[in-house]
Structure 1
Amino acid sequence: MSIANIVATLEKLEKMHKSLLEFANAKTEFIKQNDMEKLNEIIKNEQSHIAAINILEQQRQTMVTDYLRAKGIALTDSTSVADVIEAAKSTESTEALVGVRKRLVVLLEKLKMQNDLNQKMVFNSLQIINLTLDSIRPQRQEQFNYSGAEVRGNAEVMKRSFNEFKA
């Protein structure tokens, strides 16, 4: 197993993650516009990209493991590209591996930040929806007479659920 193969796989991963970042940026715009149809389309496309990334990641893991075995290095549960960089002697292919790894790390950080923003935006939208629903839902108001017992007749109307009311 050569470092060039690992570099090629990492470059494919980089390309797929760039695509995911573009999807995340598009999701931000669709969340702002409240365009649920386009948001659902983006999510479907993301899922296919994630499946492809998982396959590439398995290939990368296999390549890293094979490389380290070939070098006679004891394997741990989580072998990484950093282990390959450490095990390899300083060569041009090692420099390429370091470069693509750095780019991928930066890209993953940007993707994480964008996804966090999208998650916060969706959460805030849900809070607004819940607040709106709470404001139009009939409030249960208990009425008591002088003895503290509930007045009959009003309790039946207050127990009806939100779904029973029509706008």
Structure 2
Amino acid sequence: MALTRLLELLERLDETHLQMLDLAAIKKQTIMDNKVDGLIDIMNRESKLMKLIGQLEEQRAEAAFTFLQGVGIRSNLNLNLTELSRLVFDPEDKSRLQQVQQKLSNTLHRLKKANELNQKLIEQSLTFIDYSLDLLVGRPNQDFTYHHPSDKGYSSTRPGLFDARG
């Protein structure tokens, strides 16, 4: 009974993480399309899913503890799923637990890769915005007084990256 509850919670965790993975794909396109409103909406949806994941994790920990008590372990050990599967002796249950573990592990790995890509895209977008602002308004520490073109210090403080004079 306790193992069944644990397996159900692991399945729900996987489903919720798959929803996060779907949002990560939508977020990627939203970032590339530069849709700020859409990004805010996605972040709100992610926040709700993260709250649900937190609740499911708490329930999973309780179910794992209940399972441990059922097999005669009274202390609250923080075992990972591989260690927990060693305490499951029914081959069918053990196989099901290992399948759910592998499925959840794959989903988490894919989600991690998607989040890393989205983070890089956001960093590139911010770098581009910073570069664009520098081109439009110049560097903040730029001296706005006139300098004769033959002045040596003038060329080093020139705004932008290109020198049209060649």
When normalised by structure 2's length, the TM-score is 0.79
Q: 1:75 to 1:106 in 2, by over 3 A?
A: farther
Percent identity of equivalent pairs: 26
Q: Secondary structure at the match of 2:78?
A: coil
**1:69 shift after superposition:** 2.7
CA RMSD of superposed structures (Å): 2.1
Q: Is the 8 Å Cα contact of residues 2 and 66 (structure 2) preserved in structure 1?
A: no
1:105-153 alpha-carbon deviations (Å, 9 max, x no partner)? 00000000000000000001001111111222245238799xxxxxxxx
Does the Cα contact within 8 Å between 1:25 and 1:114 map onto a contact in 2?
A: yes
Report what 1:47 is aligned to.
47
Matching of residues 62-101 of structure 1 within 5 Å: 62-73=62-73, 75=75, 78-101=78-101
Q: 1:51 and 1:66 mapped to 2: Cα distance? A: 23
Question: Which residue of structure 1 aligns with residue 37 of structure 2?
Answer: 37
8 Å CA contact 2:30, 2:38 repeated in 1: yes
Distance in 2 between residues matched to 1:56 and 1:113, nearest whole Å: 22
For the residue of structure 1 that corresponds to 2:86, the secondary structure is helix
**Letter aligned with residue 102 of structure 1:** Q
List alignment gaps of at least 5 residues for structure 1: 146-167
Q: Which residue is equivalent to 2:120? A: 120
Query: Structure 2 regions of 5+ residues with no counterpart?
Result: 148-166
1:3–1:94 CA contact under 8 A, matched in 2: no
How many residue pairs are counted as aligned between the two chains?
145
Work out the CA distance in 1 between the residues paired with 2:42 and 2:111.
15
C-alpha separation in 2, matches of 1:60 and 1:33: 38
Is 1:22 aligned to residue 49 of structure 2? Answer: no
Separation (CA, whole Å) in 1 of partners of 2:38 and 2:144: 45
After TM superposition, the score normalised by the length of structure 1 is 0.79
Q: 2:96 and 2:123 mapped to 1: Cα distance?
A: 40
Distance, in Å, in 2 between the alignment partners of 1:38 and 1:74 is 49
Structure-2 residue corresponding to 1:136: 136
Whole-Å separation in 1 of the counterparts to 2:104 and 2:94: 15
